[in-house]
Amino acid sequence: MTSHIAIVGDGAIGSLLAAGAQRNQSPYSVLLRRQRPAVTNVVHMDGTSTTLHNREPVALSSRDLLIVPVKYYQLASAIEQWRHLLCPDTPVVLLQNGMGGHEVLTSLLPDNPLYLATTSHGALKVSAQEVKHTGMGETKLGVIAPVHGTSNEQALLNNRVTAQINACLPPVLWQQNIQAALWEKLAINLVINPLTAIDDVTNGALKHPHYQRQIHNICSETAMVMTACGFPTDTQSLVARVRKVIAQTANNYSSMHQDIHHGRQSEIEGISGFLVRQAKKTGIDVPINTGLYQKIRALSLK
């Protein structure tokens, strides 16, 4: 029996997932908060496009999958809205920028097998009906709440969920420690997202010598908090990783830049807000990240 993939929302990444499912002829549905015209066209990097044929939401069994690629601040209401579709064994994958969503998910869905994912694919919603795949990337996936069964059952489920995500947003790299992978991504977002949004620049502008001290200081605070939280690292390796992503995405506007400049709510609470909260818990001073957090919050209120 083919399994069904339900995707919450028709955001840029959600629509890429739906296009992957469509191309692989996997049954899927896109769950919308309210009735409205959804994304129907996804343009791929090679110029071809996929027309989405969305289906009605269906009740999800243990063989199916719910993927939640929504913003941090939308997560709780999305789960409240759609949990009636789930059975206690339906696996759920949270695919998000930033961190903190994991706690929300485990408190709302204490019984389900839960996975976290992060992707470096780039996608842009160019209109209410069209999404463009703007950058090739990879998707990292790992388990956070295991099934209540044997390790063999867990391994089988991990393989199935990996194959389902791989059909939608390949390549999938399985992570034994997905939290560590998310912290590494967070370290990058902590630099690029607020700086580009505040200064209204592309990611590539951060190559300028003018930004290097600030980048070093953000990474230094992040390295201290990561180490205190059990993910040991150092400033130099974070700076090197940040520089690599700046070079790889030089022409892009970061997601936070796009959110702020289109007057949308940003993901600052799951990025700098998360770091500031972890710093407080571990007794570490993070004045640079706190300043960026406050500046983005002030810009969001304008």
Bridge partners of 66?
6, 92
> Is residue 71 annotated as part of the catalytic site, yes or no?
no
Residue 152: CB atoms within 10 Å? 8
Contact between 266 and ligand KPL by CB under 6 A: the answer reads no
Q: Is the Cβ of residue 271 or residue 279 nearer to ligand KPL in the bound state?
A: 271
Per the structure block, which two tokens stand in for 301?
Answer: 């209120």
Active-site option among 125, 132, 140, 185: 185
Closest to 4 measured CA to CA, from 105, 106, 119, 86: 86
Size of the site for ligand KPL (CB under 6 A): 11
Q: Is the Cβ of residue 23 or residue 207 nearer to ligand KPL in the bound state?
A: 207
Question: What is the smallest separation between the CB atom of 250 and ligand KPL, expressed in angstroms?
Answer: 10
Contact between 222 and ligand KPL by CB under 6 A: the answer reads no
**How far is the CA of 190 from the CAs of 95, 164, 167, 273, 284, in angstroms?**
18, 30, 30, 10, 16
Contact window for ligand KPL (CB under 6 A) among 6-14, 88-96, 212-220, 247-255: 247-255
Closest to 93 measured CA to CA, from 155, 31, 158, 148: 158
For ligand KPL, the binding residues in 32-61 under the rule CB under 6 A are: none
Please give the Cα distance from 204 to 145 (Å, whole number): 38
In one-letter notation, the amino acid at residue 175 is: Q
DSSP H/E element including 126: strand 122-127
CB 215, CB 193: distance < 8 Å: no
Contact window for ligand KPL (CB under 6 A) among 71-79, 123-131, 210-218, 252-260: 252-260
Interface characters, 157-196, with ligand KPL (x: CB under 6 A): -------------------------------xx--xx---
Contact window for ligand KPL (CB under 6 A) among 19-27, 85-93, 210-218, 248-256: 248-256
Which of 252, 272, 278, 289 is in the footprint of ligand KPL by CB under 6 A? 252
Give catalytic residues, as residue numbers: 185
